[in-house]
A and B are shown apart, each in its own frame.
Chain A
Amino acid sequence: MPKLRKIILLLCFFLITNSFSQKKQLLYNFAELPQTLLLNPGAETNFNYHMGVPLLSGISTEIGSSGFSLSDIFSVDNRTINDKISQIVESLSSNDYVQFNVQLDLFNAGFRLNNNTYISFGFYGELDGIIYTPKDLLVLATEGNYNYLNKSFQLSHGALKIDALGVLHVGFTKKVNENLTFGSRFKIYSSVLNAESLNNYGTFTTRNGSNNVYAYYLDNANLKLRTSGLIEGENQYIENAFFGDNMGIGFDVGFTYHISDQIEVTGSVVDVGFIKYSKLIENTSITGSYMYEGVAYEYDPENPSSFVELIGGSFREEVTTVQNEESYVSLRPAKVNASFAYSFGMKRSIYCFDNTFKDFFSNTLGVQMHAVHRPLSIQHAFTGFYQRMLSQRVHTKVTYTIDNYSSNNIGVGLSAQVGKLNFYGMVDNILQFTNIAAANSISAQLGFNLIF
């Protein structure tokens, strides 16, 4: 019981301190698929070895926009595009964002070292990005400052982080005892490109001036953009994905714990790591403060034709732009997953990799939580799921997710095995399938494995 209390406390801690976000909620802990080991290296598996079909073992895409959908802009209706964009800009908040993630397994394989230990390894490419909508800058660009006397336009709006990388990984999953399975995965990141603009701050304000009608204040501006791999003429994207110039390391850890025959908790922390960028770098920073009230004529009767003030010159003196090629370190977006599941229904026996049989319940009901650390906040999601084994080889899962995008995201997943060939496919947000363009987010995963 004390163990149970600790686990429940841990789950509550995750629930309260993190917000969990939607991220492969269908794949997580589903059907003992090999790909679940990438979400929780401590997931239980029931096969001797597996091999993903090259390039097809794991294809995962997710795209979402928290502030608007495609149909908000491009639907054919009686509104003008100007009206639509104005409405969107008005309704956006500085925490709205566009986010995308594409992951492709180049290869994925594993083998059982002994009855208690499973080794898995592989290589995948990933494109991951989040761009926060620069609300204030959009207002300034589309409307100007004419109607915004005394409004401080925040330069902090508009953070972004985009990564493209190759990931070589190897992990183990160890059954510690009948109740606990633990796993860990070591990762070597090889960056193809990175662009990030984080921790910007400063304001731009128009006020009534003391010497002139208006005065303009650029206060404490600090804007940074760091890039790697984006230098023109250095298009070695494919080469850089395989042990290129900008490398990093990271790890995943996870566990599965059976509180009883019917109750299971899992948890994992994924992508705890960093990449050090030291080649193909272009960094730009703009810092400083500036106050402008206009051009001051300073008439000097002794020198009546002097040209006395250079606006641009004084601006460049006060607000400095620095470009450099300094190396930098960027953290990977760490994710936290957890689940609590209750199995019930008819008790059956399943054939195991070690020629034994174990009992299982064909229905599982549970909750999952997911959190990912993003530049301006932790994104979160809470998922309820129902999983049913139609047979030992056919599994289905239905999820209901509340996340930053919506509170009515329903997803479905299927895993089926024919002989040694396994197929899985899953999509979420199916309520939006009547009009995908109006969906704020869509994600899908599919893959083929050979499982022995």
Chain B
Amino acid sequence: MMLQKIKKVSSLFFCLMMITSCVEELDFTQLDDYRATPVFTTSAVYFTIFPYQFFDRSGVQINEIEEATDIDIPTNNFLRRKTVRIDFNAQISNELEADFILQIQLLDADYSPIYETKEMLVKANDLTYEFNETFDLRSNPELKNIKASRLKIKNNTPSVKLNPKDNTKLQFTSYYHIYLDTDA
């Protein structure tokens, strides 16, 4: 009698659980369609140039200077693989009386140029020059191997004599928008 009662109660218990429990349709393969496209902003090159820097030791005005910097950014392979686009943005304030052309070369590990930006032509006394250029890494995958960059600054009006004691300056600031795509 007791055994039957227990059987009945425990059977009812499990039947109730089995009958009432259910799970709505789930589709775990949806994860395959997940695509994250974060955009990171990171500072790039900045510098300030004064007129005296356009003169050599003997005091002769030079019209083109260049500087290079290693870029040992601690990014891992995942980030390098998933970067699909980089927007380069620069803001230049030119207080000098000369026009300048600036250009950035992106270099590989052997310091060989991989890519050259368009020329930035900054007129004399232009304090609000802005420049932007988009690097499409899907069509230029070699850009993922950047190890250094070289900046060229050329006086586009060499007839204008600069005063090495002048405190006017050319200020350059820049940043990148880096677009990642987990589907890349």
Contacts and interface: CB of A to CB of B under 8 A. Distances in A.
A175 B161 CA distance: 104
A418 B2 contact: yes
A297 interface: yes
A425 B47 contact: no
A452 interface: no
Given A293-B46, A312-B72, A437-B26, A418 B6 contact: yes
A434 B70 contact: no
A360 interface: no
B44 A294 contact: yes
Interface string B45-81: 1110100010111000010011111111110000000
A9 interface: no
B173 A212 contact: yes
Contacts of A391: 2, 5
Interface string B170-184: 001111011010000
Contacts of B148: 307
A75 B39 contact: no
Given A297-B69, A307-B69, A213 B6 contact: no
B22 A433 contact: yes
Contacts of A312: 72-74
A308 interface: yes
A224 B184 CA distance: 31
Contacts of B55: 301
A90 interface: no
Given A141-B36, A298-B47, A311 B22 contact: no
Interface in A298-317: 298-299, 301-302, 304-313, 315-316
A74 B23 CA distance: 11
A56 B138 CA distance: 57
Given A294-B44, A295-B44, A437-B23, A142 B9 contact: no
A425 B12 CA distance: 12
B5 A394 contact: yes
Interface in B114-133: none
Nearest to B49: A299
Contacts of A111: none
A144 interface: yes
Contact of B26 (A75, A85, A141, A434): A75
B139 interface: no
Interface in A110-147: 140-147
A312 B26 CA distance: 45
A393 interface: yes
B65 A304 contact: yes
B43 interface: yes
Contacts of A70: 26
Nearest to A144: B38
B42 interface: yes
Interface string A423-448: 10101001001111110000000000
B74 A292 contact: no
Contact of A143 (B2, B26, B38): B38
Contacts, number: 183
Interface string B69-100: 11111100000000000000101000000000
B27 interface: yes
A211 interface: yes
A209 interface: yes
A76 B26 contact: yes
Give the interface size bracket for A toward B.
35 or more
Given A308-B69, A309-B70, A414-B13, A294 B36 contact: no
A216 B6 contact: no
A68 B67 CA distance: 53
Contact of B24 (A80, A211, A423, A438): A438
Contacts of B25: 75-76
A272 B37 CA distance: 46
Given A416-B10, A433-B17, A297 B22 contact: no
Interface in B131-184: 148-149, 151, 172-175, 177-178, 180
Residue of A140, A145, A212, A306 with most partner-chain B CB within 10 A: A212
Nearest to B54: A301
Contacts of A143: 38-39
Contacts of A212: 43-44, 46, 173-175
A217 to B, nearest CB: 12
Contacts of A297: 45-47, 67, 69, 151, 172
A293 B27 contact: no
A82 B43 contact: no
Contacts of A73: 30
A433 B55 CA distance: 82
Contacts of B36: 82, 141-142
B43 A215 contact: yes
Interface string A186-230: 000000000000000000001001011111100000000000000
10 contacts: A76-B27, A81-B30, A85-B34, A144-B38, A216-B43, A299-B47, A393-B2, A394-B6, A434-B22, A436-B23
The 9 closest A-B pairs by CB, nearest first: A294-B43, A144-B38, A312-B72, A297-B47, A146-B39, A212-B46, A433-B21, A74-B26, A416-B6
Given A75-B25, A213-B174, A298-B47, 19 more contacts: A76-B26, A81-B33, A82-B33, A209-B173, A213-B175, A214-B43, A216-B43, A296-B47, A299-B53, A301-B65, A304-B67, A305-B67, A311-B72, A312-B73, A412-B13, A414-B13, A418-B2, A427-B17, A433-B22
Interface of B: 2-3, 5-6, 9-10, 13-14, 17, 20-28, 30-31, 33-36, 38-47, 49, 53, 55-57, 62, 65-74, 89, 91, 148-149, 151, 172-175, 177-178, 180
